Amino acid sequence: MRLAHWPAATASRGSILLFPGRTEYIEKYARIAVALTQSGYDVIAIDWRGQGLSARLQQNARLGHVAQFSDYQRDVAQMAEAATDRNLPRPWHLLAHSMGGCIGLAALLEGLPVASAAFSAPMWGINLRQMPHGIAVGMAYLAGRLGRGGQLAPGSGALGTYVLDESFSANLLTEDAAEWCQMVREAAAWPDMTLGGASFDWVGKALNECLRLSRIPSPDLPALVSLGTEERIVSPAAIRDRMSHWPRGTLVEMAGARHEVMMCSPERRTAFLSAVLELFGEQA
């Protein structure tokens, strides 16, 4: 497992556990981490198993894969152990994006010791376009029974790198050209840190995890969630449904934003980070 720790630039007010999304890597959040450290927080981030520069799980390193979705909780446990060993200042807070939001919610429900949580476009459901949920799960299950669970699932993306293969005008991640160019530069410079589409096993296990979590009430914890009105990757309906029942939760919908709220236009990104810091500051 690969972790990175950015110490607070001033007297620390606490620590932030940063959970990236699928296909992502630690360095993608370096600029976000610097902004958070300048606000007085230590930041620790992770490359999930099978992506970034943590060990890949398939012979084809381009394929996103996981044997069981609960395996990600083992990564969370290692991250919490590392934060404890390094004496990262308390209170701890969670900042999670996309797949990291799914992993993060499960971790909160299992007792992750944080005082508050902020989510960017959390994967509490997946946008399957026109395919019914049951058919997608059934296809993944059948592929596994046929010994094809570790193969690329159609519709999950190619084995290339999304930001290098897609045009800016058609991309689902950001509406900001400068941020898109930054992603392209990183992917071109660091190809070994990028990831392609997902396996049948990942798709099936992810869908089942989203369904499992949907049946569990939200934890009694202050939470903030951002959702772009142009979201097309995760399920906006699943996010809105959970936040309508999260007693201490706040949903912020950002007009015109796509999936990457932390890599969108400067004014939207600043608004989100300001809200996150306000939430974390209230728990100091």
98-152 confidence digits (pLDDT tens): 999 999 999 999 999 999 999 999 999 999 876 777 888 888 888 888 888 999 9
Residue 154 has pLDDT above 70, yes or no: yes
How buried is residue 53: exposed, middle or buried, by Cβ count under 10 Å (0-12/13-18/19+)? middle
Was domain 2-282 assigned CATH 3.40.50.300? no
Secondary structure percentages of the chain, helix, strand, coil, to 5: 40, 15, 45
Question: What's the mean per-residue pLDDT of the chain?
Answer: 95
User: What's residue 143's pLDDT?
Assistant: 83
What is the spatial distance between Cα 61 and Cα 51, in angstroms, rounded to a whole number? 8
Cα 141 to chain centroid, rounded? 24
The confidence score (pLDDT) of residue 135 equals 82
Q: Which token pair is 190?
A: 């660091």
pLDDT computed for residue 102 by the predictor: 98
Residue ranges of domains in the chain: 2-282
As a whole number of angstroms, the distance between CA 16 and CA 28 comes to: 16
Give the per-residue pLDDT at 268.
96
Q: Which helix (H) or strand (E) holds 203?
A: helix 200-214
Which amino acid type is present at position 195? L
What confidence tier does 178 reach under pLDDT thresholds 50, 70, 90? Answer: very high
Torsion of CA 186, 190, 191, 196, to 10 degrees: -50
What pLDDT shows up at residue 130? 64
Sign of CA dihedral 16, 173, 266, 3: positive
pLDDT at 141: 80
24 closest CA partner among 53, 65, 59, 57: 53
State the alpha helices, DSSP H only, in 52-176: 71-85, 99-109, 133-145, 162-165
Q: What is the pLDDT of residues 49-90, one digit of tens each?
A: 999 999 999 999 999 999 999 999 999 999 999 999 999 999
The Cα-based distances of 225 to 73, 124, 133, 162 in angstroms read 21, 12, 24, 25
> Nearest Cα to 258, choosing from 162, 203, 180?
180
Over residues 200-255, the pLDDT tens digits come to: 999 999 999 999 999 999 999 999 999 999 999 999 999 999 999 999 999 999 99
Alpha carbon distance 171, 159 (integer Å): 17
The structure's pTM equals 0.97
Token output for 85: 């060993």
pLDDT at 133: 76
